[in-house]
């Protein structure tokens, strides 16, 4: 039995993987501040302990490590909103950079291996598919924060011998996902709008391409990373990509099937990467990663799950600057 700390345990990756760890006999300490995840999504079990904690509280984080002496830390917690991040720079860097730094220090002190979930946002607008050997070129503060943490991990390894691995997941879907945040998780946003009778809004021409993957295919790769490899970077996600027009039309058709009919509308384009998807050969070779996501089936299962969820409230984010803010975010 290993002791594993999981941050973001009320979110999509953290909630699902915590359950997987518990089922495999590990002792899990789950951390979440419940700013994005929901209390109902937190796992339960004899080998699970939940700690509500803001990771900005450095001393409290250090006390938690002192108490539990974890073998591994899985750092899933983040505020992943690339498009919003230029308007909330301080919030973005506090959540995605400072909180990560507060975890790196005790990992060094207690010899804890750190598995950091970065993002394909570090690649920016380079030629697709992105491969792990591409030099990161982020185009927004969110991608910059993730890349900064990656750089810090490499420095901590060289200076202190920190053991770590980096995973760059992208567009992961499944139950326990926050579909109530209007700034992130595009399919969740489309589903929420449909269930509330609001037109599906697609930014720009809708020909942006993304690849979406089912959370269930992430379990085995993370299991391997618990004990194997050090200092490696892995892309994990689906190979097949879709335009956002295709995604919106799929959600629209599934909505009709269940009695929710809404139109699709197009708004002005926003500052974002046009085409974003990765190569996953390295994860397939070394982590036994296999993705068999059937997007329409996955969206339908999420839609049915969402139909049975209460309309949860999410604390809105206060804009730090309003210059250039998109009209559709002002309401």
CATH number at residue 42: 3.40.50.720
Q: Which of 123, 142, 147, 218 is catalytic?
A: 142
Residue 300 belongs to domain with CATH number: 3.90.25.10
Give the pLDDT score at 202. Answer: 96
149 with 47, same domain: the answer is: yes
Task: Say yes or no: 112 and 197 in one domain.
Answer: no
- Count up the domains in the chain and report the number: 2
Q: How far apart are CA 157 and CA 163, in angstroms?
A: 6
Within a domain: residue 178?
no
pLDDT for residue 199 is more than 80: yes
Query: What is the predicted pLDDT for the residue at 314?
Result: 77
Pairing mode, strands 200-203 and 264-267 = parallel
Average pLDDT for 109-123: 97
Per the annotation, the verdict on 328 as an active-site residue is no
Please tell me whether residues 157 and 112 are part of one structural domain.
yes
In a domain, 48, yes or no: yes
Average pLDDT, rounded, for the chain: 95
Could you read off the pLDDT of 25-48 as tens digits, one per residue? 999 999 999 998 899 999 998 899
Q: Which domain holds residue 247?
A: 186-210+240-280+292-316
Task: Give pTM, 2 decimals.
Answer: 0.96
Asked if the structure places residue 287 within a domain, the reply is no
> Do 193 and 97 share a structural domain?
no
Same domain, 153 and 274: no
Output the CA–CA distances (angstroms, integers) from residue 107 to 65, 69, 166, 234, 253, in the order listed.
8, 9, 15, 21, 47
**Exposure of 284 by Cβ count < 10 A (0-12 exposed, 13-18 middle, 19+ buried)?**
middle
Residues 229 and 244 both lie in one domain: no
């Amino acid at each position: 039995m290993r002791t594993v700390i999981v941050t973001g345990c009320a979110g999509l990756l953290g909630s699902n993987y915590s359950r997987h760890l518990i089922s495999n006999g590990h002792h899990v300490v789950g951390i979440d501040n419940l700013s994005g995840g929901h209390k109902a999504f937190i796992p339960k079990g004899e080998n699970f302990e939940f700690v509500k904690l803001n990771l900005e509280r450095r001393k409290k984080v250090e006390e938690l490590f002192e108490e539990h002496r974890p073998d591994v830390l899985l750092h899933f917690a983040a505020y992943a909103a690339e498009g919003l991040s230029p308007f909330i720079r301080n919030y973005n860097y506090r959540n995605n950079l400072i909180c990560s730094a507060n975890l790196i220090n005790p990992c060094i002190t207690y010899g804890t291996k750190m598995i950091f979930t970065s993002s394909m946002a570090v690649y920016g607008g380079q030629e697709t598919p992105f491969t792990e050997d591409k030099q990161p070129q982020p185009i927004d503060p969110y991608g910059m924060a993730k890349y900064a943490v990656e750089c810090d991990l490499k420095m901590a390894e060289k200076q202190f011998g920190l053991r770590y691995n980096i995973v760059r997941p992208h567009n992961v879907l499944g139950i326990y996902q926050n579909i109530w945040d209007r700034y992130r998780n595009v399919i969740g946003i489309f589903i929420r709008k449909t269930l509330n009778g609001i037109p599906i809004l697609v930014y720009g021409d809708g020909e942006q391409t993304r690849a979406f993957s089912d959370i269930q295919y992430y379990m085995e790769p993370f299991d391997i990373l618990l004990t194997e490899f050090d200092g490696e970077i892995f892309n994990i996600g689906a190979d097949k990509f879709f335009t956002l027009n295709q995604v919106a039309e799929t959600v629209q058709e599934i909505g009709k099937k269940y009695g929710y009919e809404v139109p699709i509308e197009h708004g002005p384009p926003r500052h974002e990467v046009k085409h974003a998807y990765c190569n996953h050969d390295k994860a397939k070779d070394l982590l036994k990663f296999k993705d068999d996501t059937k997007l329409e089936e996955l969206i339908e299962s999420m839609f049915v799950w969402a139909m049975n969820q209460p309309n949860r409230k999410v604390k809105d984010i206060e804009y730090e600057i309003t210059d250039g803010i998109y009209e559709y975010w002002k309401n």
